Structure 1
Amino acid sequence: MTALPQSRHLATEIPGPRASELLERQRAAVPAGVASVMPTFAVRADGGIIEDVDGNRLIDLGSGIAVTNVGASAERVVAGVQEQVAQFTHTCFMVTPYEGYVRVAEKLAELTPVDGEVRTALFNSGAEAVENAVKVARAYTGRQAVAAFDHAYHGRTTLTMALTAKNMPYKHSFGPFAPEVYRAAGSYPLRDGLDGAAAAERAIDQLEKQVGAENLAAVIIEPIQGEGGFIAPAPGFLPAIVDWCRANGIVFIADEIQTGFARTGQWFACEDEGISPDIITTAKGIAGGLPLSAVTGRAEIMDAAHPGGLGGTYGGNPVACAAALGAIETIEAEDLTAKARRIEEIAAGRLREAQQQDPRIGEVRGRGAMLAVELVDPETGAPDAALTGAVAAAARAAGVITLTCGTYGNVIRLLPPLTIGEDLLTEGLDIILDALAAA
């Protein structure tokens, strides 16, 4: 049960009068580079609803970008946080450690699809996790080069901007970037028409020619590319890349920051193709909305960094660790992996039905509660970013939090909380499809 009514309600236009006042204050106090999708301000959130300062109740199809998988105020998360805050908020694990950090590491060793003996280091953000995974891979291999893929998104720090493929808004005017980062074509079935084996052969050929396998410390990839457009690679692509990495002593890093913690209908998206990464990075859904990230990997790789080489003042904060344990318990107790698969059944079915009637829907793709609609020019198949923006804006005005993504800006992404009610999910989909029909 949720304390917040699970129904969409528009008490005012969006933004309402109170939100408009706050937007003026935001413009005066916050830099323009920090932009927001919805022109309003949250006061409560639970289940599939976010309530704003003007009393509007909005259907949440974004989950704070795949963070509140268990909902924005899950009971076990709240209880764990309240208990921990009353005990202590910080000691720094590198100074005076605490059990919560160890318990999270033990749980990730149990859950993540990394074979053998496993170690975990905790940090604050996804970008931090990626940076530290690269540090560990370089220490282990004694090599420097790192390879990422077209359409990748790995973060906004100097190194992770280099790994990220999209210029606007993530890289433009922010260079120079970290060196020894290389890029290969990945697998984008809608646009390259290649099966998994052919796409992997192309990528491997590029890396061997441009970099040389003997120079690569790591290859990093999202099992389903997030900001790049929710691109699921063709079957067989990921296993082929993993096999090549293993044959050449290259650390394979799976970036499951957006795909992890039941989002795709499994605990982790790697499980769908049966691959075992050497290192897996996680964040977002790990702690029910509190800042926490993790680098989990094979023990011999993770132990390559010298003592004191990994860490950070706030990494694995005790309150965030308590939230993570509550979030993991919620996923297990409420079988949210099954709920993600049910969301896919409802949403993908509804969207593919619409696709049969509307040639502007170029593809419906994704897994679990990580689904995307790619909008195109029906005559040429070219990406239609203008249409995508118009549909998203209309849906938001109607009270549905709708996110877009994609290298070409033409993808509507659906990331509802796994706790959303089926009636709310269906209503949100209807509003998006009505907006598309009217565009």
Structure 2
Amino acid sequence: MAKKQIKKVVLAYSGGLDTSAIIPWLKENYEGCEIIAFAADVGQGEEELIGLREKALKTGASECYIVDLKEEFIADYVFPTITTGAVYEGEYLLGTSMARPIIAKAQVEVALRVGADALCHGCTGKGNDQVRFEGTFAALAPELTVIAPWREWDMVSREDLLDYLAARDIQTTASATKIYSRDANAWHISHEGGELEDPWCEPSKGVWTLTTDPEDAPNQAERVMLSFEEGKLVAVNDEKLSPYQAVMKLNAIAGAHGVGRIDIVENRLVGMKSRGCYETPGGTVIVAAYKALETLVLDKAALKYREQIGLEFSHVMYDGRWFTPLNEALLAGAASFAKKVTGDIVVKLYKGQATVVQRRSPNSLYSEDFATFGADDVYDQSHAEGFIRLYSLSSRISTLNQKARALKEAGKA
């Protein structure tokens, strides 16, 4: 089948094995097409960005745009997600998922600015990211053609890509011995592939890169205080920090104590299960602190509803539905509850654990006067009898009705 004529395409470019092969492949398969590389800095580390532009140009791109999205990523995507309480399948703090909408959005903005007629990504046909990228493309620029090489070319393995590049004398730092597939940003790093493809295989020490092995972590616990204002983390240990700075500081502190490791088998959106190891040290501390502060300031009904928002939002984020009316509605609901989330939380870090040990808030609903087991003059315990009688009234009526019917039937016998 003949390929659609494309004049200019913007490629989401990382400089890794896949996207290194995509540039020459595009030139060979979309004749006359100008290729513009786009890279997003979401806090994956400077080492991944060094020489990226030069590499893109050398392999055939006409230009390479590197856009700094670090602060926007944490402030406008990570922190709002925290207010929803979203945790996918009970464990995953959505690190990769949260980065995709902002990356795809910035890619679309570059494409529209340079007058491109197509967008390209290096996501595989087995993963979630193809849905996340293309869902954003559809929401923001449906008129642009999407090129997904992994769904078009006949290469099926890492070795195929290495051979492809070698045949064209294109240098890459990837090799057949680099077995792990990793994705990093300011919030987390994910690890897949290699030994992790066998769920019976315990991850080796070589898997983890961001956190100290809990067994090797300090024997002395460390306490860290997080301060929130209307749902936003504003200070760590009384030091005022931007959202990105706060996350990076907590990554360093919590990572040293082995906090934030998970090893899970998750349900991908495309139907298969995958096994991955994730490291989210600072994020684990922030989420624990935020939840602890919520329990202090939200009443039972409000917290229950916020938990429902979190469950639904975890799937909205994981499934790539950021730019949807449902996403807006859920975020608006969470933001309403977040207005009460002001205060300080102290978290103790020790051997991989993050434990909340102190909490305070000007909006606290906890009152020692009411909760005490000692004598008090604000609560008359005899009032509980009437409350319980009304609270259980439906059960009482149901049982009395059953007994009355039983007596009636017995009288007829």
> Is the structural similarity TM-score above 0.5?
no
Q: Which has the higher contact order (CA 8 A, sep 6+)?
A: 1
Task: Please identify the structure whose Cα radius of gyration is greater.
Answer: 2
Structure whose residues are more often helix by fraction: 2
Q: TM-score, normalised by structure 2?
A: 0.30
- Give TM-score scaled by structure 1 length: 0.29
